[in-house]
């Protein structure tokens, strides 16, 4: 079976996306946490979701240093687009190590910020691996309904901390080439390798 790296947040969407793909590819999860900017509850939540989903392996990657560099070096309105690309590029490094050929995300067009059509194009064109977005056309009610059915909703619900460093008014439109130039403002590969070098790998 082909392998995929799935981006697992503590929110409602990504566990549902993983569930929908589990019978099609072997999944290794990656969670990019913001400790010490947040507390351990984020990690506890993700571990619990992993158990509910029956995942066997998850990477817990410290990502605060990368996100802080995005804030200080890049145009802040692009933060959510840039941070998602950074996570996916880190996931690509994990994929190379694990022999995975795909990425999976919980992105869908019912959301705002990085998940508009324009911004999804900017993300896709700045990432090398094929990205599966099984929730792309789902609305929130559909996602919540599946989350409740598979038992992840109660763990997932509640405020997320992904907006911690984000701008008040994020860009809803972007040009993929301009986003690429933003990423060149910092040594992203070096930052990602540093973070991945400190990742905790959990076998469940």
Those residues whose C-beta lies under 8 Å from the C-beta of residue 201, and which sit 6 or more positions away, are 57, 58, 59, 60
204 residues of the chain, pLDDT tens digit each: 899 999 999 899 999 999 999 999 999 999 999 988 888 888 999 999 999 999 999 999 999 999 999 999 999 999 999 999 999 999 999 999 999 999 999 999 866 667 899 999 999 999 999 999 999 999 989 999 999 999 999 999 876 666 678 888 899 999 999 999 999 999 999 999 999 999 999 998
pLDDT number for residue 201 = 97
**Can you list the domains of the chain with their CATH numbers?**
3-203 (3.40.50.620)
pTM recorded for the entire structure: 0.94
Q: Which residues lie below 8 Å from residue 184, measured CB to CB, with a gap of 6+?
A: none
Q: In what order do the strands lie in the sheet with 57-62?
A: 130-132, 102-104, 3-7, 26-33, 57-62, 200-203
Pair 196, 30: CB distance under 8 Å: no
What pLDDT does 110 receive? 66
């Amino acid at each position: 079976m082909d392998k995929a790296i799935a981006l697992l947040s503590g929110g409602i969407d990504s566990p549902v996306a993983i569930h929908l793909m589990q019978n099609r590819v072997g999944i290794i999860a990656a969670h990019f946490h913001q400790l010490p900017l947040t507390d351990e509850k984020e990690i506890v939540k993700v571990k619990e979701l992993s158990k509910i989903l029956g995942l066997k392996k998850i990477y817990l990657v410290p990502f605060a240093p990368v996100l802080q560099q995005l804030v200080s070096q890049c145009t802040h309105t692009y933060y959510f687009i840039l941070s998602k690309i950074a996570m996916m590029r880190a996931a690509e490094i994990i994929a190379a190590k694990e022999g995975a050929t795909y990425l999976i995300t919980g992105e869908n067009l019912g959301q705002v910020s990085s998940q508009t059509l324009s911004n999804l194009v900017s993300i896709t064109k700045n990432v090398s691996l094929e990205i599966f977005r099984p929730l792309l056309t789902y609305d929130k009610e559909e996602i919540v309904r599946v989350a409740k059915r598979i038992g992840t909703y109660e763990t997932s619900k509640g405020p997320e901390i992904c907006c911690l460093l984000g701008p008040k008014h994020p860009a809803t439109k972007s040009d993929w080439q301009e986003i690429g130039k933003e990423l060149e403002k910092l040594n992203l590969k070096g930052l990602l390798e540093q973070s991945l070098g400190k990742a905790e790998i959990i076998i469940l």
